[in-house]
Amino acid sequence: MSEILTGEELAALTGSSHKGKQMEVLRANRIPYFVDIRGRPVVIWSAVRRAVESETSNDSPRFEVLEYAAAAAQR
């Protein structure tokens, strides 16, 4: 498994295949990313794991992105 999310994995995580919406969801969930030469967000798995871990350490974790990704992956 690559450390970089594939386009399919990123679409499942964010619930969108559109780069603008993907970046919007990533920012809202405080998942760091960089933008490649084509303007697409690039995310590494460790950034996703850190975001999830930091959310679970709070009193009110936000799992919306993971729940949405799970539902999107089942479609």
Does 63 score more than 70 pLDDT? no
pLDDT band for 10, please (50, 70, 90 cuts).
very high
Sign (positive/negative) of CA torsion 48, 54, 56, 61?
negative
Q: Provide the token pair at 72.
A: 């999107």
Does 55 score more than 80 pLDDT? no
Q: With beta carbons less than 8 A apart as the criterion, state whether 47 and 55 touch.
A: no
pLDDT band for 54, please (50, 70, 90 cuts).
confident
Q: What pLDDT, on the 0 to 100 scale, is given for residue 2? A: 85
Q: What pLDDT, on the 0 to 100 scale, is given for residue 73? A: 56
CA separation (Å) from 36 to 20, 43, 72? 13, 10, 24
pLDDT band for 74, please (50, 70, 90 cuts).
low
